[in-house]
Structure 1
Amino acid sequence: MTLLAVERIKLLTTRSPWWCAIASIVLAGAFTALVVGNASTEFPASVATTQYGYQMGLAVVMVLGALSVTTEYRFNTIRTTFAAVPNRAAVLGAKATVVALLALLIGEITAFSSWGLSLLLAPEHDLALDSTADVVNVAGVGVVYAFSSMIAVAVGLLVRHSAGAISLLMIYGLAAESMVQLIPGVGDDIHKWLPFNVAYKFLTGEGESSGGMTVAGPPLSTSPLSPGWALAYFAGFALLLLSVAIVSASKRDA
């Protein structure tokens, strides 16, 4: 508990978490407003539409996760931390936990603020959370943000440089997974099992929250897993990558 408290103080006494939280909410809300504001009877808004901008917030949260680690390496404060607590695995595990909890909170605020904004912009459309799929599509965003932040922390530990870690995360998260589909023959098969594609399957399932219309939201995930197994797969990937990063950091010089 002491390590968690220390990491919480270290994280929340800097400006980056607050700016990242604001940026996540504003970016996702702005993109959602743009889409929902143009909804019509021909292309109605749905619960899935209210989360159209979730990837914008996700990118910001992953930047936050990477910076929580790389800034300590940049200013060498990580050495002081490891000198005070020689158990590096415990320190880094506490850091990842605190970042994940903050990302969870940011994700929930982002998702529900986008949904609430959509209710104001399109009150005539059916945006009620009246099914399990609808609730998961909104409330599940925070869960995806939490595990994504763990991936970002892991990348930060492995790369150690802010620019490099952030560039790698942005390129992969925003472009690389989609580009894999362009590989002749095997691209689609590989894409089915890539982590963020699988995470999106947890959020959207078979499209129930979009009313069965792909035009009412981003393209559905191609993952063959059920939403529950998709979450387990994504969580397992995040925890495995984080474990590898912690073991690596424990063996390398600070």
Structure 2
Amino acid sequence: MTLLAVERIKLFSTRSPWWCTLLALALPIGLASIIAANSNSDFPLTVSLTQTGYTFGLIVIMVLAALAITTEYRFGTIKSTFQAVPNRTAPLVAKAVVVTLLAGVVGEAAAFGALGISKLIKPDVALTLSSSTEWRNVAGVGLVYACGALLALGVGMLIRQTAGAVSILLVWALLAENLVTLIPKIGVKIQAWLPFHVADHFLNGGEPTPRGRDGGPAAVVYHLSPWGSLLYFAGVSLAVLIIGIVVTNKRDA
């Protein structure tokens, strides 16, 4: 518990986590309000559509998670931590727990906030969570944010530099996974196993999302169920985190 308290204090001792948290809430909720305000009979508002901006919040949360570890290397506080706790795995796991919990809470707040503001703007539209798919569309956002934070922490442990870690996360999530479809014949097959597309599949049940439609003319055929997709994304994120912890234990601080 002491390590958890220490990591919580360290996380919120700088301004960047506060700004990232606010931005991760503002982007999905703001985009949902714009979509709701401009929806009509030709562009009907749905529960899934209110969550369109979740990707932007996810990117911000991953930046927050990467900063949580890379700023310690930048300012040298990681050395003091490892001197106080020789077992390096313990504080790293504590940091992962704190950041993951924060990411999950922010994800749920952003998702239900986006749904709530859409209801306020369009009270005549039925936006009730009446099916398991609709519950997954909304409540699942927090789970995806939590997994994304784990992945970003692992990347931060491996890279150590903020610019490098953030660049890798942004390029991979926003560009690389979509460009894979340009590979002839096998591009779409590969894309079905890429982590962020699999996360999309969990939230949307395989329905095309704006990012998926931009990926190319061919539809992606997923081989996992929505909940299997979440387990896959969580497994990839956990694997990257474990690799980061192992490498950190072997490197000089």
Give me the TM-score of the superposition, normalised by structure 2: 0.93
Is the CA contact 1:29–1:117 (under 8 Å) kept in the aligned structure 2? yes
Deviations 1:158-208 (A, max 9, x none): 10000111111111111111111111111101000000111111111144x
Summarize the Cα distance change of 1:31–1:64 in structure 2 as closer, same or farther, 3 Å threshold: same
Summarize the Cα distance change of 1:222–1:64 in structure 2 as closer, same or farther, 3 Å threshold: farther
Q: By how many angstroms is 1:12 displaced? A: 2.1
Gap regions ≥5 residues in structure 2? 214-219
Gap regions ≥5 residues in structure 1? 208-213
Q: By how many angstroms is 1:114 displaced? A: 0.6
> Who is 1:176 aligned against?
176
Is the CA contact 1:104–1:146 (under 8 Å) kept in the aligned structure 2? yes
CA–CA distance in structure 1, aligned partners of residues 191 and 206 of structure 2: 17
CA–CA distance in structure 2, aligned partners of residues 153 and 163 of structure 1: 14
> Who is 1:18 aligned against?
18
Is the CA contact 1:47–1:137 (under 8 Å) kept in the aligned structure 2? yes
> Who is 1:138 aligned against?
138
Summarize the Cα distance change of 1:184–1:218 in structure 2 as closer, same or farther, 3 Å threshold: closer
Is the CA contact 1:52–1:218 (under 8 Å) kept in the aligned structure 2? no
Is the CA contact 1:63–1:166 (under 8 Å) kept in the aligned structure 2? yes
> Who is 2:240 aligned against?
241
> Who is 2:68 aligned against?
68
CA–CA distance in structure 2, aligned partners of residues 119 and 84 of structure 1: 50
CA–CA distance in structure 1, aligned partners of residues 33 and 180 of structure 2: 30
Identity rate, percent: 50
Summarize the Cα distance change of 1:162–1:61 in structure 2 as closer, same or farther, 3 Å threshold: same
Give me the TM-score of the superposition, normalised by structure 1: 0.93
Q: By how many angstroms is 1:219 displaced? A: 4.4
Summarize the Cα distance change of 1:222–1:100 in structure 2 as closer, same or farther, 3 Å threshold: farther
Q: By how many angstroms is 1:223 displaced? A: 2.3
Report the AA paired with residue 53 of structure 1.
G
Q: Does 1:224 find its partner at 2:220? A: no
Aligned length: 247
1:37-186 correspondence runs (5 A): 37-186=37-186
Is the CA contact 2:119–2:127 (under 8 Å) kept in the aligned structure 1? yes
Q: By how many angstroms is 1:13 displaced? A: 2.5
Report the AA paired with residue 150 of structure 2.
M
CA–CA distance in structure 1, aligned partners of residues 221 and 48 of structure 2: 16
Report the AA paired with residue 92 of structure 1.
L
Deviations 1:137-177 (A, max 9, x none): 10110110001001110110010000111111111111111
